Structure 1
Amino acid sequence: MNLSALTETGPRCVHFASVAQVAAFLEHPRDLAVFHLRGAELRSEAELLAGLAHAMAFPPWFAYSLDALEGCLRDLAWHPACGYLLIVWDAETGAPGVLRRLREAWQRCAPFWHSPDGSDVWSPPRPTPFHLVLVGQEERVFPPSEGGT
């Protein structure tokens, strides 16, 4: 995969890549806020929410629910940046159902960043890159029996 797309906006916001691809991308300075999680630490919804709250420095009012997660993903005002990138290292070791919930939440929030309409006080002023990279092979992260894409 060509990870240069991570500096752009668009409808595709979830990507699969190898360790080498992500490492090469991270060698060059970008104006993206980059957050990191480890797949092995994503075995339950509670671990997902706690891991994201820590990695992305969610505010103290974060309520540790999927609704609150989407609220925080849509409003990253406490961490201003030209774009946002969440990398899940060793995604193949995470629970597929948990990673599926993360993917779905990310996909629901991405249009807010990619196509801001100005109707919300929290809307970004311009299209902003907002990407999730799962390090691993898609068919191993989301086996067909576990809701693969």
Structure 2
Amino acid sequence: MTISRIIESATSLGAPWVHQLIESQVELIREAASKADVLVIELDGSRMRTLDRLFAEYKEQFSFPEYFGWNWNAFKECLGDLEWLPARKYLTIITHADEVLSTELSELGTFRRVVQSVGKTWSTTVGLGYKRGHGEIPFNTVFIQDYDSGRPLDSLASYASELRR
């Protein structure tokens, strides 16, 4: 997939809703998002090495309500609601993605499935309420690998391949 197609895909309703880029490409995504009506949330994967830290980063950056339950169901529910953070398009950029859940690798698959599912739900849900225009809303996540880290995102890359099938 070309970088222009990735940029288009990262702000669109259609699958895939999870993307993988290298650090040198992140500015292209930021620039494209700044020209569109997109709410960009940037997260630092180096601060999300554990599940608790991942939840803490999302809670802070997405302003999850105080009742957030610190588990996968609550995480998915909060990302699927975002009534307190309305937008026409959502784009989550995760830098240092090769460090996400690096001390709890068994949770990485669940994380990938949840953000993929949330993206799909946002893009296909019509009943979002009157205030949101009753329409589908793009919700995409872009994992940015540290080009210089030398650590490939094997698990993320294989997941991206699965999404294309």
CA distance in 2, matches of 1:82, 1:117: 13
Aligned to 2:110: 101
Deviation at 1:57, TM superposition (A): 1.1
Partners of 2:61 and 2:108 in 1: how far apart?
16
Q: CA deviation at 1:36?
A: 1.4
Partner of 1:6: 10
CA contact (8 A) 2:42 2:93 kept: yes
In the alignment, is the contact (CA less than 8 A) between 2:17 and 2:120 conserved in 1?
Answer: no
Q: Share of identical aligned residues, percent?
A: 26
d(CA) in 2 for partners of 1:106, 1:6: 13
**Residue 153 (structure 2) aligns with:** 141
How far apart, CA to CA, are the structure 2 residues paired with 1:36 and 1:101? 20
The residue type equivalent to 1:3 in the other structure is I
Q: Residue 52 of structure 1 corresponds to which residue in structure 2?
A: 58
1:91 is matched with which residue? Answer: 97
In the other structure, the counterpart of 1:126 is 135
Deviation for aligned residue 1:134:
0.4
Q: Would you say how many aligned residue pairs link Structure 1 and Structure 2?
A: 145
1:11 aligned partner, one-letter code:
A
- Which amino acid counterpart does residue 141 of structure 1 have in structure 2? L
> Is the contact made by 2:48 and 2:54 (CA closer than 8 Å) also made in structure 1?
yes
TM-aligned CA deviation for residue 121 of structure 1: 5.5
Deviation, structure 1 residue 17: 0.9
Structure number having the greater helix percentage: 2
- Contact 1:46–1:64 (8 Å) recurs in 2: yes
Q: Distance in 1 between matches of 2:37 and 2:139?
A: 12
The answer on whether the counterparts of 2:7 and 2:28 sit within 8 Å (CA) in structure 1 is no
* CA RMSD after TM alignment: 2.6
Distance 2:107 2:154 in 1: 10
- Determine the structure 1 residue equivalent to 2:22: 18
Q: Where does the alignment leave 5 or more consecutive residues of structure 1 unmatched?
A: none
Pair 1:114 & 2:111 matched: no
TM-score normalised by structure 2 residue count = 0.76
Superimposed CA distance per residue, residues 65-108 of structure 1 (whole angstroms, 9 cap, x where no aligned partner): 11100000110110111111111101112214444332111112
Residues in 1 aligned to 2:122 and 2:142: alpha-carbon distance in whole angstroms: 16
Deviation larger for 30-39 or 66-75: 30-39
Say if 2:38 and 2:90, in contact at 8 Å, map to a contact too.
yes
CA contact (8 A) 1:31 1:83 kept: yes
